[in-house]
Structure 1
Amino acid sequence: MSKVKLTDRYVATITAEPGKRLEVFDQHLMGAGLMLRVTDTGRKVWMVRYRTDDGQQRRLNLGMYPDIGLGEARGRAAEARKKAVDGDDPAGERRQRRAEARSNPLKTFTDLADSYFAASEVGEWKPRKTKKRASTLAGEKWLWERHIKPELGDLPIDDVTPAAIKKILRSLVATGRESTSNKVRAQIRQMFNYAIEQERVTVNPVAKTTALGDEVPRQRVLNDDEIRALWTALSDRSGLVRKNKPAAESRVFIGEPVSIAMKLLLVTLVRRAEMSGAARTELDLENGIWLIPGARTKSRRPHLVPLSSTAVSLFRRAILIADAKHIDPSPYVFPSPRDRRQPITPAALTHALRHVREALDLGRLTPHDLRRTGATNMASERLGVSPFLIGKVLSHSTETGGAAVVTLTTYALYDYVKEKRAALDAWEALLNTILWGKPGDKVAGYFPDVVPPAMSEELRRRVADDPAFRQALINELLGLPTTATTRQARVTKLRDQ
């Protein structure tokens, strides 16, 4: 037994001689009672030593290294000491929980998965200190059902070995799914961390595996021709046929609401889940504002999206379609066809876009690539928007802490609204130039979706030949904010309320 002021490097490199076991106590102030036990097989376990109120000395297992790092081990040790000072016995409580677990054990990996998902759904298991989002859990369940359960679900938990896990990871990498391989590994690791917390196991087998997938950040950006082809296909979906598919599966069937949602992804640059779950109460179309609550954003902070006239008209069209043939309006812009009380899923956008790009032979294309396309064009010499402002438009998190977090949360919701609107309006103008060859021609291309098809041929010619008349007509039909000054005045008024 020795005493050392532990460091990350020391913990990572310390070894025990063959046939011997080391016990090293931490001399750091925050590590009082903390011990690292090292075996000759390389196994390293954190322990903390304390005394109960009646003077008995206890040792509590804090977890395995490297699953638990030095900093976290010191934090857990401090928590255990505090409980002991308060009269509790953490080790005794753990033994009691273990006895209860033995009376109703988690036997198979499927048993563990069921318990893990149940605990995650109610917020009992929060590895990052916050309850998992429903979308996150949905993704984890998909990975479990598709890739993990078929291979490991029926195995006893103790038989889920590093070798069994590696077999799944290698299989995925061999079929070109390297990113999925890494996600599966991370998912299994989380499940076993939960099992350790439940004292069902003491070792996480994933710690003896490595991420096999060589993930390369996607760089997919649509060129102008691809943007035109995609927008045209979304506007006229008739005749779209997926190539190299059986006849029964080749036709592309995409409803107008989903096509509008995908156009809006390109126009607003929001994330697919933010778009699919858009609620009507979030939209102020008169002022050209979309306020996405923090509960629906990746950063968990509200995100204000200035809406261009294109976005406003598309949203109005989507709402018009949603209300057609229904007495009671849905609370969502894109209600599910199966249950109008729920929105469409983010996956609906991904699947629809996959079918369209297969019909157009555009190569691999995801909803996030539309977001990247807009951001890349903003940053290019075509628009010259600063990276900082693009980050604001995309609602990327700002690395701040302390009082700055309070300031951002309370006051910064309307920060840079004018600049964000200018950036999105510039992107709209460029998009219109790409689509129609006229930066100010903000109605062409989606005007047929708004103007009744029964209008006279004379009116159609005037709309086609007179941009000013066309814009005035669309403003009249949709009630769009007429000028940037008017929009900014409305934003200022809303902010001051």
Structure 2
Amino acid sequence: MPLTDIKIRQAKPADKPIKLADTAGLYLEVKPSGSKLWRYRYRIAGRENLFAIGEYPQVSLADARKARDDARELIRQGRHPAHARQTERTRQINANALTFKAIAEEWIEKKRSRWAPYYLMQVERGMKKDIYPRIGRLPIRSVTAADVLAILDRATKRGAEVVALNLRQWCSQVFRYAVATLRADHDPASALRGAVIRPPVNHSRPMDRDEIAAFLRKLQGFGGHRTTVIALRLLLLTFVRTIEMRKAEWTEVDLAAAEWRIPPEKMKMRRLHIVPLSTQAVALLTELKGITGAGRWLFPNHRRPHDVMSATTVNHALMSLGFASATVTAHDFRATASTRLHEMGLRSDFIELQLAHVERNRVRAAYNHADHLAERAAMMQTWGDWLDAVAADNPSARNAKG
């Protein structure tokens, strides 16, 4: 007669194990200790075998019968249910080891040598800050589009839409890598294209003469760190990118030769870039050497001396000077130099070389890092002198438009 839950609950242990039969080979074994264990007796190739299903009440009567029926299907295929369960358990253990984080780190390692240091830093920071805390420990096959969307939503809510777009792209690339290496079946992040609306691009805007004069006046009275003042002045004088300024090392600067050689791995275009230094820039760097010259970096982090100046320091300083981020940003210094130098009649080739822009014309792209260095040095000195004249409100500065 089939078992019932009442009969199972009322079963009492004895000095020896008691077997309570259900149907089709399933029975409950009541141990002297009081534990009640589900067992299924079956035959394969004429030999009797026993399959341990689990313990009551953790495994209910209905669950035990289902497990028996599943086992019977395996037996029809000539497979022992215990072997199948062990195979599935091993598969699950292996799947659990293939977490999103483990595969993402493997993907990053393969890409590391091809990426610029700044981009590598962006990817690793996005993973550690936004992605790993949410899905890093999950088996990659179990991560859903909803999981990724939650990550994107968190970034969007803090106003970081561009970050959210990057996070989706990086997640998608990790999933595609996992698919290509047979450790995932699909890319759930691909379904989220369009989930984040890209904000309008804020193009750099050149400062006019009055804005430059106001900036230089306010900078003289800036109450922050002197190194921050020097960084702002040098950005305007050299019009390098902020990341190139922040990561500058003293081994790259030759004050005697009035040159700053930025190695390829620090440049956006991965090419050596030479910055001729005007007398104004040399004077500032000489002062800076007396402050930070004993260390590695021109602009070390005030809180973490072994690291470089924070990416937000320059823009925060501009805001402290009264320039809202929508009005003037550090990148505007490059646009300012380009526009004003073109207005002064300087050759476009020299300006573009000094900005380290990509040259799309194959003939002109043959320039190497030292091309027209003397002319570029003269241009940089012209720029430094013009800025001095603006700061002094010298009428000669007005010969340039703007």
TM-score by structure 1 length? 0.54
TM-superposition CA deviations, 1:256-278 (whole Å, max 9, x none) = 11221122111101112221222
> Deviation digits for residues 40-99 of structure 1, max 9, x if unmatched?
xxxxxxxxxxxxxxxxxxxxxxxxxxxxxxxxxxxxxxxxxxxxxxxxxxxxxxxxxxxx
Quick one: distance in 2 between partners of 1:169 and 1:114? 21
Matched with 2:36 is none
CA distance in 1, matches of 2:272, 2:317: 32
Output the CA distance in 1 between the equivalents of 2:301 and 2:120: 20
Distance 1:285 1:228, change over 3 A: same
Alignment check: 8 A CA contact 1:117 1:137 kept: no
Return the alpha-carbon distance in structure 2 between the equivalents of residues 234 and 428 of structure 1.
16
Q: Is the 8 A contact 1:431 1:439 kept in 2?
A: no
Work out whether 1:395 is the aligned partner of 2:356: yes
User: Cα gap change, 1:167/1:438 in structure 2, threshold over 3 Å: closer, same or farther?
Assistant: same
Higher relative contact order (CA 8 A, sep 6+): 2
In the TM superposition, 1:401-416 aligns within 5 A as 412-416=368-372
What residue number does 1:368 align with? 331
| Alignment partner, residue 308 of structure 2 | 344
- Alignment-derived partner of residue 57 in structure 2: none
Moved more, 142-151 or 256-265: 142-151
Correspondence list, 1:56-71, <5 A = none
1:427 aligns with 2:383: yes
| Partner in structure 2 of residue 90 of structure 1 | none
Gapped runs of 5+ residues in structure 2?
Answer: 1-89, 398-402
Which secondary structure state, in structure 2, belongs to the residue aligned with residue 414 of structure 1? coil
Which residue number corresponds to residue 63 of structure 1? none
Q: Is the 8 A contact 2:314 2:330 kept in 1?
A: no
Residue 103 of structure 2 contacts residue 174 of structure 2 at CA under 8 Å; is this kept in 1? no
SS at match of 1:305: strand
Instruction: Give the equivalent residue in structure 1 for 2:219.
Output: 234
Which secondary structure state, in structure 2, belongs to the residue aligned with residue 290 of structure 1?
A: strand
Structure 1, residues 347-375: CA drift from partner, whole Å, max 9, x if none?
x2523422441451423344323222322
Aligned with 2:100 (options 112, 127, 141): 112
Corresponding residue SS for 1:126: helix
| Aligned residue runs from structure 1 range 81-120, under 5 A | 105=94, 107=96, 111-117=99-105, 120=108
Identity, % of aligned pairs? 26
> Partner letter of residue 368 of structure 1?
H
Unaligned runs of at least 5 residues, structure 1: 1-100, 239-253, 324-328, 442-497
* 1:201-280 equivalence runs, <5 A: 201-211=184-194, 212-221=196-205, 222-238=207-223, 254-280=224-250
How much has 1:201 moved relative to structure 2? 0.9
SS of structure 1 residue aligned to 2:243: helix
Amino acid at match of 1:332: W
CA distance in 2, matches of 1:104, 1:225: 67
Per-residue CA distance 1:394-432 (angstroms, 9 max, x = gap): 11233478x998x65xxx221021332233233323322
C-alpha distance after superposition, 1:304-358 (max 9, x if no partner): 11111111111111101124xxxxx223323444565x4514xx25234224414
Pick the aligned partner of 1:418 from 357, 361, 374: 374
**8 Å contact kept, 1:276–1:343:** no
Match of 2:87 in 1: none
* Aligned partners of 1:173 and 1:213 also within 8 Å: no
- 1:155 CA drift (Å): 4.3
Contact 1:226–1:362 (CA under 8 A) maintained in structure 2 = no
2:74 alignment partner in structure 1: none
Asked whether 1:322 is paired with 2:292, we answer: yes
TM-score by length of 2: 0.65
Counterpart secondary structure, 1:291: strand
Q: Structure 1 residues 438, 108: CA separation in 2 closer, same or farther (over 3 Å shift)?
A: farther
**Aligned pair in 2 of structure 1 residues 219, 135: CA closer, same or farther (>3 Å)?**
closer
8 Å Cα contact 2:318-2:329 kept in structure 1: no
Question: Alignment RMSD, CA only?
Answer: 3.4
Query: Aligned-pair distance for 1:157?
Result: 2.3
Query: Relative to 1, partners in 2 of residues 1:318 and 1:103: Cα closer, same or farther, differing over 3 Å?
Result: farther
Q: Is the alpha carbon distance of 1:204 and 1:161 closer, same or farther for their aligned partners in structure 2, counting shifts above 3 Å? A: same
2:219 partner amino acid: L
Q: Please name the residue that 1:88 is paired with.
A: none
Number of equivalent positions: 306
Q: Contact (CA 8 Å) 2:264, 2:270: kept in 1 or not? A: yes
Deviations 1:219-245 (A, max 9, x none): 24234444334333433323xxxxxxx
